Amino acid sequence: MYADSHCHLSFPELHGRIDAIRAAMAAAHVDRALVICTTLEEFDTVHALALRYDNFWASAGVHPDNEGVREPSVDDLLALAARPRVVAIGETGLDYYRLGERTVADMAWQRDRFRVHIRAARASGKPLVIHTRSASADTLAILREEGGDAAGGVFHCFTETADVARAALEMGFYISFSGIVTFRSADDLRAVARLVPDDRLLIETDSPYLAPVPHRGKVNDPSLVPHVAARLAAERGVSVEHVAAVTSANFARLFGLPPRMEGWYDEVKVSL
């Protein structure tokens, strides 16, 4: 059994074919997924998926890249986090990759938004889903300043250095790897993947993006997360069954879920 710890099933590439995706997940032994929210405007669509399907859960948050959207307050996020099947705050964090003509100083709005999410996570007791790109020093600094270790969570789609991974692990965070770990150019990332302890390891698709080899360049979905597990298993010198078991257990522990989805495959067969 596999768990996809980060996917965007509300995005248009995937939302219109949920039944087919669930059938593919069943065939691939992927029995659960966390559907990630990236704007407050999107939340109702994300949440509806978690309410309709008992192997999906939802997060509540505003992605750091999103501009021109409703800005969340701590109270906004707390209200959403209190709804059924909402198990995380985010995706949140910092992203300086697309600065353009702006400077890091100009991104104060991102840092303020990130602090709001951390405070909401601490108040709600829900873990953070962290996005960081070209901003790891500030991401770690703000987590320390705001007591993010008290909330915990996961650094999703990890692409940073071993030093950043160690810092995140020291604060109690999990590290999640996506299809990027299967890419030919990802030797440095695979080295990081070898150092993450079993009890802090997660896998994800970040679908519809970043389809793993041998599906690179295609639309990604949660049924492809076993390819991520297989590459991690090869790098870590263990069986893919071992990676599936530990990452599924970690998914359940981090997000406060039962350890297995008993009977889910039969339910999918009946619904189809």
pLDDT at 125 over 60: yes
pLDDT at 267 over 80: no
| 28-45 tens-digit pLDDT | 999 999 999 999 999 999
| Range 67-93 average pLDDT | 98
Taking every pair of Cα atoms in the chain, the longest distance, rounded to a whole number of angstroms, is 54
Q: What distance in Å separates the CA atoms of residue 245 and residue 109, rounded to the nearest whole number? A: 39
Position 261 confidence tier, pLDDT thresholds 50, 70, 90: low
Q: What distance in Å separates the CA atoms of residue 207 and residue 164, rounded to the nearest whole number? A: 24
Q: Is the whole-model pTM more than 0.75?
A: yes
Bridge-partner residues for 94, per DSSP? 132
pLDDT at 269 over 80: no
| Range 214-243 average pLDDT | 98
Our separate counts of H helices and E strands in the chain read 11, 8
Q: Where are the beta strands (DSSP E) in the chain?
A: 2-7, 30-35, 56-60, 86-95, 128-133, 153-155, 174-177, 201-203
pLDDT at 55 over 50: yes
**pLDDT-above-90 percentage for the chain:** 93
Alpha-carbon Rg for the chain, nearest whole angstrom, is 17
Position 268 confidence tier, pLDDT thresholds 50, 70, 90: very low
pLDDT at 271 over 80: no
| 127-165 tens-digit pLDDT | 999 999 999 999 999 999 999 999 999 999 999 999 999
Q: What is the pLDDT of residue 114?
A: 98
What spatial distance separates the first Cα and last Cα of the chain, rounded to whole Å?
20
Q: Are 3 and 30 in contact (CB under 8 A)?
A: yes
pLDDT at 270 over 50: no
Which residue ranges form the domains of the chain, and what is each CATH number? 2-271 (3.20.20.140)
| Range 229-245 average pLDDT | 98
Q: What distance in Å separates the CA atoms of residue 247 and residue 204, rounded to the nearest whole number? A: 10
Among candidate residues 171, 150, 151, the one with its CA nearest the CA of residue 59? 151
Q: Amino acid identity of 167?
A: A
**In the chain, which ranges are continuous DSSP H helix?**
12-15, 18-27, 43-52, 74-81, 108-124, 136-145, 162-170, 187-195, 225-236, 240-255, 264-271
Q: Are 220 and 210 in contact (CB under 8 A)?
A: yes
pLDDT at 265 over 70: no
Q: Name the token pair of 11.
A: 């995005």
| Average pLDDT of the residues of the chain | 95
